[in-house]
């Protein structure tokens, strides 16, 4: 177990780099588009907890998603973009069979064949609303794309890009391995948090060349981490186990990305999209386009 953890100085460096990158991105966003930032702040103040349905018409058929009322920032942002016609004409630019289909990059609207996509979006991000384990990556889940943890430690979502989970059915043995992975990830996360809390002390010990002290501190933090994780081990809920073994999904993403809705009709259209032939960057060889979206009464 001890070999699983990153060394103190490495874990500390990853955390600090991610924090600085996130701060730089936030500062850039405010400087580039104050209005967009302000509108995002206004959306976070909503007290409305109602669900919203959105119909998505594509070149391969239509499907309807339900936006959850308990992820209001993501719901309100999605509704705002739908009303503006932001998604109209954009592509499903990334499609992976038995995993997910992704869309929402405005650059895809006029993309040339073979053009790399996935970096476009409005000049803001959305604070994470990870309501886990209530919302998880079952088949048909609607979730927000985002940058990785190393540059986005607070797991803020893209301002527009989203994906719909397809995944595959899992056996009980698969779930056991998923739980093991969840527990290992939780151990590393807890360990990294403890390292960041002692960042100043670790830097002082490093500067003094106190390797023995660093080794002792690492062993202490590992023991504390193991104790904390053992007191509340990560487990899949009965609802997750049933969904993943009967319908399928992508459980390795759970708790990492904001799930803010689900497909309530037309999942057969998503199934058709996920099976189209793809080329470089998992982009469909023939464009699969969103024609329009509309709010349903």
d(CA 81, CA 40): 12
User: 69, 256 in Cβ contact below 8 A?
Assistant: no
Question: Which residues neighbour 177 within 8 Å (Cβ) at sequence distance 6 or greater?
Answer: none
pLDDT computed for residue 189 by the predictor: 85
* CATH value of 33-169+247-296 in 3.20.20.370, 2.40.100.10, 2.40.10.10, 1.10.3720.10: 2.40.100.10
Neighbours of 203 (CB within 10 A): 13
Tell me what pLDDT residue 11 has. Answer: 56
Is 127:62 a contact under the CB 8 Å cutoff?
no
d(CA 69, CA 74): 9
User: Could you tell me the mean pLDDT of each successive run of 10 residues in the chain, 297 residues long?
Assistant: 49 43 32 38 60 98 98 98 98 98 98 95 97 97 93 93 97 94 88 92 94 94 94 93 97 94 98 97 97 95
pLDDT number for residue 241: 97
Residue 270 burial (CB count, 10 A)? 25
- The predicted pLDDT at position 141 comes to 98
* CA-closest candidate to residue 32, choices 153, 126, 122: 122
């Amino acid at each position: 177990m001890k070999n699983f953890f990153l060394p103190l100085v490495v874990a500390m460096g990853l955390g600090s780099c991610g924090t600085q990158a996130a701060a730089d991105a936030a500062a850039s966003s405010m400087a580039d588009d104050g209005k967009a930032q302000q509108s995002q702040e206004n959306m976070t103040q909503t007290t409305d907890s109602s669900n919203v349905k959105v119909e998505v018409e594509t070149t391969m058929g239509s499907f309807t998603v339900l936006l959850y009322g308990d992820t209001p920032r993501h719901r309100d942002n999605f509704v705002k973009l739908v009303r503006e016609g932001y998604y109209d004409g954009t592509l499903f630019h990334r499609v992976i069979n038995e995993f997910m289909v992704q869309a929402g990059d405005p650059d895809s609207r006029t993309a040339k064949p073979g053009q790399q996509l996935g970096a476009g979006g409005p000049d803001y991000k959305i604070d994470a609303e990870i309501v886990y384990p209530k919302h998880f990556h079952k088949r048909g889940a609607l979730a927000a794309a985002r940058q990785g943890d190393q540059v986005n430690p607070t797991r803020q979502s893209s301002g527009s890009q989203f994906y719909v989970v397809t995944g595959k059915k899992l056996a009980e043995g698969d779930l056991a391995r998923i739980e093991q992975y969840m527990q290992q990830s939780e151990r590393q996360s807890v360990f990294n948090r403890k390292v960041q809390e002692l960042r100043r002390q670790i830097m002082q010990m490093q500067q003094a060349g106190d390797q023995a002290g660093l080794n002792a501190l690492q062993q202490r933090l590992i023991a504390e981490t193991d104790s904390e994780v053992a007191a509340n081990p990560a487990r899949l809920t009965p609802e997750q186990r049933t969904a993943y073994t009967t319908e399928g999904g992508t459980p390795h993403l759970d708790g990492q990305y904001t799930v803010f809705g689900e497909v309530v009709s037309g999942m057969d259209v998503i199934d058709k999209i996920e099976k189209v032939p793809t080329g470089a960057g998992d982009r469909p060889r023939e464009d699969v386009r969103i024609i329009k979206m509309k709010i349903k009464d």
